[in-house]
Amino acid sequence: MNEILIELEKRRETARAGGGQKRTDAQHGRGKLTARERIELLLDEGSFEEFDMFVTHRCIDFDMEQQKPAGDGVVTGWGTINGRLVYVFSQDFRVLGGSVSATHAKKICKIMDMALQNGAPLIGLNDSGGARIQEGVDSLAGYGEVFQRNIEASGVIPQISVIMGPCAGGAVYSPAITDFIIMVKDTSYMFVTGPDVVKTVTNEKVTAEELGGAATHTRKSSVADAAFENDDETLAEVRRLFNFLPLNNRSGSPSRPSFDSPERLEVSLDTLIPQNPNQPYDMKELILKLADEADFFEIQAEFAKNIIVGFIRLEGRSIGVIANQPMVLAGVLDIDSARKAARFVRFCDCFEIPLLTLVDVPGFLPGTGQEYNGVIKHGAKLLFAYGEATVPKVTVITRKAYGGAYVVMSSKHLRGDFNYAWPTSEVAVMGARGAAEIIHRSDLNDPKKIANRTAEYEKRFANPFIAAERGFIDEVIQPHSTRKRLTRAFASLQNKKSQMPWKKHNNIPL
C-alpha cells in the first residue's frame, strides 16, 4: 500500500512540475505566473479540486509518443471565490506551449459541461500557443467542441475569459463568445492572424502588441473589457468582478451585507449640474455617490468613453449601470457607445441584474462617418436591448434628454419601471436654439427675435414638467435624495414579473 501511495505522490509531483523547473523559470522570467499559481490566486485558499491531472494526449505522429506530459497542458477543476462555486481551466504554457490537442480540449469540455450542469460560472485562464499542429484536424475539432459549449452556456452561466499570454488563430473565438474578456498588459495578446502572416498578405509591418495587445483591444477594437498591470492584479480584479455576478440565470442578482445606509442623502449632488448647460461634469462622480461604499466596477472603461457601463451595489444587491458621460463628446450616442451599452444591457437582462440608467444625452452624433458606418442599425441595438429587457429598469434624467436618444435611453416608452428626473433636466426634441431656428425660419435674420423665440422654447420645454404632465416622468426628484429614491424603487421591483411574446429567439439588428 505504501508503494502505491508513494507512486501516486510521484506522479502528482511530476504533473505539478509541468515542463520542469527550466520552463517554470522562463515563465517567471516573462513576468507570468504558472497555471497552478494563477488558480491559487484566483480561488479561495485550499478550495481547488483538480480533475484529470493524469490525462495525456494520444497522438503518435511526428514522434509525439515520446513526450506525453501528464495533464496535457491544461489544469482543470473547481473551487470557490468568496465561498461561491466556480469552475476553472488554466492553460499551462510550460507544457507543449499550452497548445490545444484533442485531449486538452476534452478536459476543458468536461469542466464546461459540469459548470453548465451545476449552474456555476466558468472562468478560463488562457495562455496557449494555439492548435497543436501535430494533431491536425483533431485539434481543430477540439476547438469546435469548446465553441459549441460556449454557445450553449451563453446566457445560462456567466463566462469570463482571462487572457494571460498568447491567444491566436481559432483560439480567440472561444473568449469572443464569453461574457467578459480580461487581459494582462504587455504579456497577453489576441489576434486571428499573427504579425508574420499580416506582413506576407498585406505587407503591413506590425508588432504583436500593436496588432493584438491589451491597449489595442481595450481602446480600439473593444474586444477586451479591461486590462491590468500583471497577473496578480488581474486575478484580484477577476475575483472582484465575479462578486458582482450571479451563479446562473436563475439565481437572481447576488446580494451581500451592506453597511451603507439606503437613506443616505448626498447634498453635494444638488450642485453637480453646472449653471451653464454647455459645461460638462463628471457622471462618474454621481455613480460613486450613489453606490454602496462608492464601489463601482467599470466595464470597457477605455472604449467609447462617452458612455459608462459597469456594476454597483444598492443595499448590497448588484445593479448594472449605464450612464452618458458629458465629459466626452457631451455624452452623445454614437456607433461605439451604442454597441457597448447594448451588449451590457443584454448581459444584465440575461442574468436578472436590474438596470439603472443615468441620462444626459444631447442626441446621436451627426456626420457622414456615422451614417456610412451604420449608426441607424447600431443605435437600434441599444433601443432593442432596452426594449426586450424584462429586469427592473430605473432611469434618472439629470440634464439633457433630447430627441430619439431620449427614447433609446430606457424611457417610459421602452417599459421603464421608474423614470425620474432632476429639476435641472430638459426633455425635448432638441436644444432650444436649434428648435427655435427651425420653427421660426422667417426670423433667422433677426437675432433679437431668435433670442426671444429661444427663451420661449426654453420656458416651455427646458424642464421636466411637460414630460411629467404626460406621465412619461414618474416623479421629479431632488438630486440629494437620488440614492434613497433608487434603493426604494429597486426594492419595490424585486418581485417584478414581465415576459415577452413566445419566440425561438429574436432578430436583433446585428
Give the burial class of 29: count Cβ atoms within 10 A of its Cβ; 0-12 exposed, 13-18 middle, 19 or more buried: exposed
Question: Is 77 a residue of the active site?
Answer: no
Measured on CA atoms in the order 463, 464, 469, 475, is the torsion positive or negative?
negative
Torsions phi, psi of 193, nearest 5?
-130, 135
Catalytic residue among 170, 316, 403, 434: 170
Question: Is 169 a residue of the active site?
Answer: yes
Picking from 386, 387, 416, 250, the residue whose alpha carbon sits closest to that of residue 309 is: 386
Catalytic residue among 18, 169, 212, 431: 169
Q: How far is CA 388 from CA 273, 332, 333, 413, 414, in A?
A: 31, 23, 20, 12, 8
Catalytic residue among 405, 462, 467, 489: 405
DSSP-derived 3-state class of residue 508: coil
Distance (Å, whole) CA 368 – CA 371? 5
The number of angstroms, rounded, from the C-alpha of 172 to the middle of its chain's C-alpha atoms is: 17
Q: Are strands 189-191 and 166-168 parallel, antiparallel or unpaired?
A: parallel
Question: Is 119 a residue of the active site?
Answer: no
Quote the strand ranges of 215-330, DSSP E: 226-228, 297-299, 307-314, 317-324
Which ranges in 393-481 belong to alpha helices (H)?
Answer: 403-408, 432-439, 447-461, 465-470
Picking from 297, 283, 377, 406, the residue whose alpha carbon sits closest to that of residue 344 is: 297
The CA-based dihedral angle spanning residues 332, 337, 342, 347, taken in that order and rounded to the nearest 10 degrees: -130
Catalytic residue among 155, 252, 316, 404: 404
Question: Is 170 a residue of the active site?
Answer: yes
Q: Active-site residues: which are they?
A: 169-170, 404-405
